[in-house]
Amino acid sequence: METDLHKLEKRQKQIDIGKNTVAYGRFSAQIPRSKRAKEDPSTPDKFQQCSTRSWVGQVRVWRRRLHSWDPPS
């Protein structure tokens, strides 16, 4: 479990950026948490103890998966 406050704040900021997108709003409105499948985008756990490279990779995958919920242009 990660305990470094500075690292947790940075991770939360990255999560907030992802959750503040139109795609995340559409995703969370259309699929309730109880109905989500394994392949649906899932927010990375900010408390997970992992390297910075691993964390950045998890956020990158999460954000890319969220793009599939962007409104049609």
Domains of the chain: 1-23+46-72 (1.10.8.1120)
**3-49 pLDDT, tens digit each:** 999 999 999 999 999 999 999 999 999 999 999 999 999 999 999 99
Residue in the block written with tokens 């406050």: 5
Query: What's the whole-model pTM score?
Result: 0.91
Instruction: Provide the pLDDT for residue 25.
Output: 96
Instruction: Provide the pLDDT for residue 36.
Output: 94
Q: Is the pLDDT of residue 73 over 90?
A: no
B/e letters for 7-16, b = 16+ CB within 10 Å, e = fewer, are eeeebeebbe
Q: Is the pLDDT of residue 55 over 90?
A: yes
